[in-house]
Amino acid sequence: MIRAPLRTALALLLALTAAGCSSSTAPERPSRDGASAASVPTAPDAAPGRPSGPATAAPVRVTIPAIGVDSSLMRLGLNGDGTVEVPPAEQGMSAGWYTGAAVPGEPGAAVIIGHNDTKYGRAVFHDLRKLTKGAEISVINAAGVTARFTVTGKEVVQKTAFPTQRVYGRVDDRVLRLVTCDGPFDPQGHPVDNLIVYATAK
């Protein structure tokens, strides 16, 4: 039997390879309108990397000065069909926090998803690939508290080899992952890669 966190992570991987993103002129699905999408059979009791405990103020804004990002954060949960929500294409300049992962600044892996491009043009994480080690990311919560992270690395991975455990797996440290689409397009208009930025709380 697969335990719930692992089952969830595997389902996230399957959807990342299937849903993808597309060019700005292509339909939303497959689309570059969504940085990633994830599918789970049912909503898990606790997603990988998210410890149980008292409620913490939700994140409402993310800033990345090095690439000029200053974005509100919408909550991204699960759609009725079990896929993870992504920001609507018409709100491509806004990123979203996946509520099934950790709260930024709390122990565990927090995940923020943003578009690279949409059919409306460049989007919030268009320049994510320009981030370098040591860059600062700040996430402000609804109580006005700022969690500060330092970029430790980034990688471009094929969607067929998405590092599910590294991104969504349970960790004790306070870490953050930013995810978007990247790379060339396949014949169907799907970017074949994901760009992942890893950061650790200061």
Per residue in 74-133, pLDDT (tens digit) is 999 877 876 667 889 899 999 999 999 999 999 999 999 999 988 888 999 999 999 999
Helix (H, G, I), strand (E, B) or coil at 10: helix
Per-residue pLDDT, 168: 84
Question: How much of the chain, in percent, has pLDDT values that exceed 90?
Answer: 51
User: Please, what's the b/e burial string for 115-154 (b: 16 or more CB within 10 A of its CB; e: otherwise)?
Assistant: bbbbbeeebbbbebeebeeebebbbbbeeeeebbbebeeb
Per-residue pLDDT, 160: 83
Distance of CA 16 to the CA centre of its chain: 11
Of the CATH numbers 3.40.50.720, 2.40.260.10, 2.40.50.100, 1.10.287.70, which one belongs to the domain with range 4-47+56-201?
A: 2.40.260.10
Question: How much of the chain, in percent, has pLDDT values that exceed 70?
Answer: 71
Residue, of 123 and 32, whose pLDDT is higher: 123
- Range from 43-47, 95-99, 182-186 carrying the lowest mean pLDDT: 43-47
The closest alpha carbon to 197, from 107, 105, 132, belongs to 132
For the chain, what's the residue count?
Answer: 202
Residue, of 186 and 84, whose pLDDT is higher: 186
Taking residues 66-79, what's their average pLDDT?
93
Q: What are phi and psi of 130, to 5 degrees?
A: -80, -10
Per-residue pLDDT, 155: 96
Per-residue pLDDT, 82: 66
pLDDT tens-digit map of 129-153: 999 999 999 999 999 999 999 999 9
